[in-house]
Structure 1
Amino acid sequence: MTRVGVGIDIGGSGVKGALVDLDKGEFIGERVRYDTPESSTPLAVAKICKTIIDELGAAPEVPIGITVPAPVLHGVIPFIANLDQSWTGINADELFQEVTGHQVTVLNDADAAGVAEYYFGAAKGVAGTVIVTTLGTGIGSALLYNGILVPNTELGHVELDGRDAESHAAASQRVKQDLSWEEWISRLQRYYSHIEMLFSPDLMVVGGGVSKKHDRFLPKLDLKCPIVPAALRNTAGIVGAAVYADEQAKNNVPTAPGV
């Protein structure tokens, strides 16, 4: 019998969700997408998530994971990017459970991608420390040790040469500053060497849209540990959210105070 979960990925432009086969890490049926409301308040976005869950026909017992572009501390969002600032300080677990009528686990979007890569992607079965980064507008990160997620790492915001690392090395900066591949690679080398020095990982995985062109830059990075492209790419957030929610439910981890 197929074990099923629901993953929903909330972004600045769209809210996407799908039923997920928890044993294969694959979508069951088609992905559902709605535009993020122009007034992207927590309640407005939660209502979109309810619509997606209802459209997918999720049974009450199906684990539901929802990603947000923010850290999540015991369900609470301390600050937010790309959505309305009224998200700051709310308990997202409680809000989503109230609006959707389902038990919900909320987590950071990069953390969800990291979970997906560990269970089904480029980091599958890798022991020790794995760091997954997403290169896009900024640099998202996920840190796992023997498959256990250490959440909310925000490694794109380490200080590097007196500045925020992602303001120098994110994929968006290559386009914004009209950098050649060689110029951008030198910045990536500085960034990933610094991360390697801090954590001595066993593997680094690189995702984000630019990972489709991984052959242009990853082979040119000189590191002690292997660095490889992500395998799941645009399905990772949804798959990882569903898997993480399932793991939390199996371990009886409360998703909100008093739940």
Structure 2
Amino acid sequence: MSQQQAVGIDVGGTGIKGALVDIDTGELLSERIKYPTPEGGHPGDIFEVIARIASDCGPVASGLPLGVCVPSVVKNGRTLTAANIATDWIGLEAEKTLEGRLGREIVFLNDADAAGVAEAHYGEAVGAPGLTILTTLGTGIGSALVQDGVLIANTELGHLEIDGEVAEHRSSAVARQRLGQDWQEWAAGLQRYYLHLNRLFSPNLFLLGGGVSKEADHFLHFISLPVPIRIAALRNNAGILGAAFLAHTTRASR
């Protein structure tokens, strides 16, 4: 059995998906397994689905590192927030609880952070020097900062205030629909957001992810920045790959 394998599981508000991953190449070594997120999104119910996916990856996966990304700020294995999952995730010792349930080491991390790590190692930011900022535009705005391949966790840049308003309330994909904006109008606000991030962090590269990235032809040409902005490459596999990668590297460092 190769030691360069891990299991990655991505918990979302509507679906939970996972696979066995080749850490060297970023290829999925199993089919991508997906189940609906249990109604209510409570930890115990989601843990049951995580256990099922880990089992579905086959016997070879039982001794491998397991990474789980969730829509939450995660600090020292504790989930501190909850987006599109139950509020009883807030303050939960998620790593310890699931480790006790499955009898194996688990690494928990934020879902946008997992996507950023995946893009840095397997996707659009491979070899990118300096700072890369990934933003995922969906219900809100998720973010990940990766400096020379190293994750700076839990940045939550969608919560920055611009002109007295939280950025994701005007610049997320859902906000565009709620405000009834056309693509050009929405892109103008999005450009203000990226220019603000550029002033604060001076990145070398922006990556744009989330479901709306599939429609980038409608709006990306309206955005002009002093640094490159590109579409994230890995889409539905990003969380799986990033969670698996960090689980593997965490075990290797212990």
Q: What range describes the TM-score normalised by the shorter chain of this pair?
A: over 0.9
Which residue of 84, 97, 108 corresponds with 2:86? 84
Equivalent residues of 1:47, 1:100 under 8 A apart: no
Structure 1 residues 35-74: aligned runs within 5 Å = 35-57=36-58, 58-74=60-76
Contact 2:7 / 2:61 at 8 angstroms: preserved in 1?
no
| Pair 1:250-2:248 in alignment | no
SS at match of 1:33: strand
How far did residue 175 of structure 1 move?
1.7
Equivalent in the alignment of 2:102: 100
Q: For 2:35 and 2:114, locate their aligned partners in 1 and report how far apart those are by CA, in whole Å.
A: 20
Preserved CA contact (<8 Å) 2:55 2:62: no
- Contact 2:131–2:146 at 8 Å: present in 1 too? yes
Aligned partners of 1:248 and 1:29: how far apart in 2?
A: 22
1:198 has 2:213 as partner: no
Residues 29-38 or 111-120, more deviating: 29-38
Are the counterparts in 2 of residues 92 and 106 from structure 1 also a CA contact under 8 Å? yes
- Tell me the SS of whatever aligns to 1:201: coil
Runs of at least 4 residues of structure 1 off by over 6 A? none
Q: TM-score of the superposition, structure 1-length normalised?
A: 0.94
- Which residue of structure 2 aligns with residue 256 of structure 1? none
Once residues 40 and 217 of structure 2 are traced to their aligned partners in structure 1, the CA distance between those partners, rounded to angstroms, is 39
Q: Which moved more, 1:173-182 or 1:113-122?
A: 173-182
Note the C-alpha offset of 1:220: 2.4
- Residue aligned with 1:224, SS: coil
2:184–2:222 Cα contact (<8 Å) kept = no
Distance 1:11 1:189 in 2: 27
The residue type paired with residue 248 of structure 1 is T
Q: Give deviations 1:152-193, integer Å, cap 9, x for gaps.
A: 000000001101100000011112222111100111111000
Residue 142 of structure 1, CA deviation: 0.2
Q: Does residue 30 of the first structure (1) align with residue 31 of the second (2)?
A: yes
Percent identical among aligned pairs is 47
> Residue 226 of structure 2 aligns to a residue in which SS?
coil
CA distance in 1 between counterparts of 2:150 and 2:223 reads: 27
Report the equivalent of 1:257: none
Q: Distance in 1 between matches of 2:61 and 2:169?
A: 43
Structure 1 residues 168-187: aligned runs within 5 Å:
168-187=170-189
Letter in 1 for 2:18: G
SS at match of 1:30: coil
Aligned residue pairs total: 252
Q: What SS does the aligned partner of 2:78 have?
A: coil
* Aligned alpha-carbon RMSD (Å): 1.2
| Structure 2, gaps ≥5 residues long | none
Which letter maps to 2:74?
V
Mapped contact 2:20–2:61 kept (Cα < 8 A): no
Shift of 1:59: 3.3
Alignment of 1:156-235 (within 5 A): 156-235=158-237
8 Å contact from structure 1 (residues 80, 88) kept in 2: yes
Distance 1:171 1:145 in 2: 26
Give the superposition deviation at 1:218.
2.2
Deviation at 1:248, TM superposition (A): 1.0
Letter in 2 for 1:14: G
Q: How many angstroms apart in 2 are the aligned matches of 1:154 and 1:199?
A: 14
Contact 2:5 2:248 in 1 (8 A): no
* TM-score normalised by structure 2 residue count: 0.96
For residues 41 and 236 of structure 2, what CA distance do their matches in structure 1 show? 22
Listed as ranges, the gaps of 5+ residues in structure 1 are 253-259
- The one-letter amino acid of 1:162's match is G
